[in-house]
Amino acid sequence: MQPSPSKILVVRNDRLGDFMLAYPTFLLLKQALPQTEIHALVPAYTKEMAECCNGIDATVIDPGPEASATHQRALLKRLRQERYDAIVALYSTTRVGLLACLSGIPYRLGPATKIAQVFYNRRLVQRRSRSEKPEYQYNLDLAFRLLADFAVPAGSVPLPPYLRFPANETSSLRTAFCRSRNIPETDLLVFIHPGSGGSAGNLSVEQFAALARLMHSWKPFTVVITAGPGEEQKAARLQALLAGLPSTIYYSREGLRRFAQHIQFADVFISGSTGPLHIAGALDRPTAAFYTRRRSATSLRWQTLNSDGRRLAFSPPETAAPEDMGAVDIEAAAYEISRSYLARTDN
């Protein structure tokens, strides 16, 4: 039996949505190993969200595969200096596996897939491409394996919300947001994020506009169109198509943490399968998401982290091509979103 590790590095250094789906893993490890330092290897652009996670004690920035040899050597030096007892690669690449091996980390756990597996001395067979379970569960399976190897009781998986900001801060931010945009504070705020990171298909701007126009609520609502860098034109096009419907555009220009604070006061968050959707899920906000039926991008594989009653998913019908998002039944989606999230519930 090995002693419990004093310092663990957990790797999830790909996209924002993928990282958010690792939140339960970090929280489970911290719950089971409260005295262990848990570090996260992440790209610079998800660092803010790593710093928001209560299961992470420190972050290590990965310069990425395109970085120079100088930057790769600097990362290797950092890994050696930290003297980690264990590394868990939730997302495995040959480069990261080699760095872990060269850094001398004694316990190296990763998925038993691709050539990268040769650099790990502990492996777990995972067939993620089959999409037989949610991505966050694949991540958790690796955490359970590590805890079992060190004979540490895992306990139960933490429940949502996995991310939360103080209620008074959220309330003040919502009030300021509404007042600065002349939105009645009694309005419901329906967030629509029409942009996409490009890894999965999405609705067109015209479909999002049709969806908003078809939704019905028991009280007035304002559509909040969210946009990150490079998504400004798409947001403007959507607002133009919503002429006559109360709407505003929120440009996320103050970093991901500030964006997440705004998402926390959304009454509904609607988007394709993209990073902001998974922030909303981690916050346990009601979500409505649109997915392709492509095997690696299904609604099951990329299921959000929110509670069951706060999660809706829509995809093209079986009669259409798996990635034909134009075949999604927008009228049916609008009805379900309205019934589930915008209907009066105090009767």
Write out pLDDT tens, residues 73-91. 999 999 999 999 999 999 9
CA-based nearest residue to 21, from 70, 90, 69, 123: 90
Q: What angle do CA 209, 194, 165 make, to 5 degrees?
A: 120
User: Which amino acid, 258?
Assistant: R
Q: Rounded to an integer, what is the distance from CA 186 to the centroid of its chain? A: 29
Stretches in the chain below the pLDDT threshold 70:
1, 198-199, 346-347
As to burial, measured by CB atoms within 10 angstroms (0-12 exposed, 13-18 middle, 19+ buried), residue 94 is middle
pLDDT of 196: 85
Q: Which residues of 179-215 are buried (b: 16+ CB within 10 A; e: fewer)?
A: eeeebeeebbbbbbbbbbbebbbbbebebbbbbbeeb
pLDDT of 74: 98
| Each residue's pLDDT tens digit, 165-220 | 999 999 999 999 999 999 999 999 999 999 987 667 899 999 999 999 999 999 99
Whole-number Å distance between alpha carbons of 117 and 123 = 7
Q: Give kind and range of the element (H or E) at residue 339.
A: none
**What dihedral angle (degrees, nearest 10) is formed by the CA atoms of 209, 213, 219, 225?**
10
- Look-up of token digits 């089971």: 32
CA-based nearest residue to 274, from 237, 302, 234: 302
User: What are the distances in angstroms from CA 203 to CA 48, 247, 256, 299, 315?
Assistant: 28, 19, 23, 14, 10
**Could you tell me which residues are beta bridge partners of residue 227?**
251
Q: Could you give the 3-state DSSP secondary structure of residue 288?
A: strand
